[in-house]
Amino acid sequence: MQLRYEVSGADLSLAGKASTEVKRALGRLGVNPGAIKRAAVSMYEAEMNMVIHGGGGIAIAELSPDRIVVTMEDTGPGIPDLELAMQEGYSTAPEWIRELGFGAGMGLPNIKRNADDLRIESVVGKGTKVTIIIDFNGFGGAQV
C-alpha cells in the first residue's frame, strides 16, 4: 500500500497532518504500538523539517507487512553540512519556528534515534530527499 501526501510549505496549520494520517493507517493495520510510535515521530520530524526548511514537498509512505519506508522530498535549499545538521542542538531554523515548538536542532537526531535506517540525499540549491525505514519488528517495539 502506498500513501502519498503533498505537504504545504505555506500553511503551517496543516504541518503534521500527513504523519497523523500515516499513524492512523498503521494502527488500522495492527502494527505493534512501539513501531507505530517510532514511525510517527520520525515522519513528523521530517515533515516539520520539510515545512520549515524545504518549503514543503512530497511525502510517500510505502507500507508492507514487515516495514514502512517513508520518503520525503523537497526542492528547498539543501543541507550544506550534513554532519552539523545531525548534531543535537544545531539548528538553522528562524526564530518564528521556535514559536511552533520546533527549530531547536532535535529533528534529525530524533529521526535517527527512532528509525532503523535513515538516508539523506541533499544537494545545495536543489533539494533534499530523506528516506526513513522502520522495521515493525526491528527494535522489538521499544522506543529508545
Partner 1 sequence: MKVRDIVSELDGVLLTGEDLLDVDIKAACGADLMSDVMAFVKENVVLLTGLVNPQSIRTADLMDIRVVVYVRGKAVPKDMIAEAERNGMAIMTTKYSMFLACGRLYEAGIRDGGTRESR
Q: Give the residues lining the site for partner 1 (CB under 8 A).
A: 13, 15-17, 19-20, 23, 33, 37, 40-41, 44-45, 48, 98, 100-102, 104, 106-107, 109-110, 113, 143
Q: Are 107 and 76 in contact (CB under 8 A)?
A: no
By beta-carbon proximity to partner 1, the closer residue of 10 and 125 is 10
Place of cell 514511525: 39
- Min. distance of Cβ 23 from partner 1 in angstroms? 6
By beta-carbon proximity to partner 1, the closer residue of 9 and 75 is 9
By beta-carbon proximity to partner 1, the closer residue of 94 and 126 is 94
Q: Are 22 and 39 in contact (CB under 8 A)?
A: yes
Closest CA to 27 of 111, 136, 131, 113: 136
Place of cell 499513524: 23
Q: Which three cell numbers stand for residue 140?
A: 522489538
- Min. distance of Cβ 126 from partner 1 in angstroms? 26
Identify the three-state secondary structure at position 59: strand
By beta-carbon proximity to partner 1, the closer residue of 15 and 132 is 15
- Min. distance of Cβ 20 from partner 1 in angstroms? 6
